[in-house]
Amino acid sequence: MNEALRVLLLQDYNTRLVVIGTAMLGGAAGLAGTFLMLRKRALLGDAVAHATLPGVVLTFILLALTGGNPRSLPWLLGGAAVFGTLGMLTVVLIRRWSRLKDDTALGIVLSVFFGFGVCLLSIASRLEGVNAAGLSSFIYGKTASMLMIDAVLIGGVALTIVAVVAVFYKELKLLCFDQDFAASQGLPVLALDVVLMGLIVAATVIGLQSVGLILVVALLVIPPAAARCWTHRLNRMLVLSAGIGAASGLFGSALSALAANLPAGAIIVLVAASLFLLSFFVGSERGVLWRLIRRWRLEREVGMQHLLRAVWELAEKEAGPGRIGEGAVGKERLMQVRSWSGKSLDRLVRRAVREDFLTDTPAGLRLTNRGERNAARHVRNHRLWELFLIRHADTAPSRVDRGADLIEHVLDEDLVAELEAELSANGSQVPVPASPHKVVPT
């Protein structure tokens, strides 16, 4: 418990350094990765990450051969940035100058650059008088040994990414959602694409020290994917993605400090994956749970609309158009009209009675005043849509009922008004148009 409190309260210098550094890394990666996901280039981050390995190792070899400090982090990360950019440009060139698809181009760049890096790593390990131990940490990460210079570098790059996104927010937004329209408005699409790719390279390079090139792609992809489950608005998605990425880095590094011999980079990614699973199931926009709830509510609403419309139409036949409330409808006739089962119809009727739409009398079901108003609206929408299909979609009057039944529940007020204007010649100005099933379109 004491150890847990020390970690949670960030009392130790090294813990404080690692937690803050990884939180900044996760926030920056989540922010840049959002635009990458919207551009449908999520795996480009994977190719860029693997392309950085030969840059790191080649820089190490050159510094060792020229008498420099082969472990100079700025030089190593600079080499990683150069080769990451080169890998990204290679993907773009393959896609533009060949007929190969995106996945093929990404696979080629990822495997070739990473293979080249492994070969260079083998050469570096055999250099005389040079200790190449630690280079493999760029593959798997070494979060626990983060230094102040690492945290400062991560913080500087993270602030740069935030500043670039803030300055070019509108342009990047338009680029992600409609590139052709952005070009037609005179925006430099290619330059904006280069800026976006530069953000990805920067986020990838600063993540090498923490989670390694294999896992850094997770921080570029998972936080935006989790944020997408909560909102459809880009500004909120950016904030959520950055927050999820920062939380992944913070809690992942804190958990790794409590558990001995567990790699911090892997724990950070597992925390991010857990947050994604939580978002996947309970996200307010795309979460599975809320989608099921919305579907259940829609089915309940559609079922009630069908019941009220069926009672109206049967009462209309019995009592006449102007005396709907006097008509009584038996359950047997309703089951024949809609093919309801006895149990499902009983549930609908009980709910309709409870909500004051119907009254269950010995003579049959009758619409209440509230139920008659609601039923009139649903019948009106249904028949307006039938008239529209007959007149504009060349649908046979004998077959129009089922087609209208599938679409009428999504009619809004504006579309109803438009249908009324379009179909005024067919009687749409009366409270409820007559059924067009037997009307021959003119």
> In which band, very low, low, confident or very high, does the pLDDT at 427 lie, cut at 50, 70 and 90?
very low
CB atoms within 10 A of CB 93: 12
Give the pLDDT score at 239.
Answer: 94
Angle at 93 between CA 89 and CA 99, to 5 degrees: 145
* CA 298 remoteness from chain centre: 22
What's the pLDDT band for 428 if we cut at 50, 70, 90? very low
Six token digits for residue 339: 């093919």
Task: Work out the average pLDDT over 285-298.
Answer: 88
Count of Cβ atoms closer than 10 Å to residue 282 Cβ: 13
Percent of the chain with pLDDT over 70: 80
DSSP 359: E
Identify the CA nearest to 83 among candidates 115, 128, 48: 48
Average pLDDT, the chain: 80
Query: Which of 416, 439, 413, 407 lies closest to 426, judged by CA?
Result: 439
Q: Tell me the C-alpha distance between 141 and 209, whole Å.
A: 5
24 vs 315, more confident: 24
Question: Which helix (H) or strand (E) covers residue 365, if one does?
Answer: strand 364-367
Mean pLDDT (whole number) for 207-221: 80
Residue 81 near residue 198 (C-beta atoms within 8 A): no
Give the pLDDT mean for 40-47. Answer: 80
- Sequence-distant (6+) residues with CB within 8 A of 50 are 87, 109, 110, 111, 113, 114, 117, 213, 214
pLDDT band at 440 (very low <50, low <70, confident <90, very high): very low
Instruction: Count CB neighbours of 112 within 10 A.
Output: 16
Residue count (the chain): 442
Q: Tokens 């004051």 correspond to what residue? A: 356
pLDDT (tens digit per residue) in 401-426: 555 555 555 556 666 666 666 655 45
Select from 357, 361, 391 the least CA-distant residue to 376.
357
Average pLDDT rounded to a whole number, residues 53-62: 88
pLDDT band with cut points at 50, 70 and 90 for residue 392:
low
For the stretch 131-151, pLDDT in tens is 766 677 777 667 667 778 778
| Helix, strand, coil percentages for the chain (3-state, nearest 5) | 75, 0, 25
Could you tell me which residue, 100 or 173, shows the higher pLDDT?
A: 173
Show Cβ contacts of residue 12 under 8 Å, excluding neighbours closer than 6 positions.
6
- Write the DSSP symbol of residue 109: H
More confident residue, 421 or 222: 222
| Three-class SS state of 397 | coil
Question: DSSP alpha helices (H): ranges in 168-322?
Answer: 169-177, 179-184, 189-207, 212-228, 234-258, 264-282, 288-319
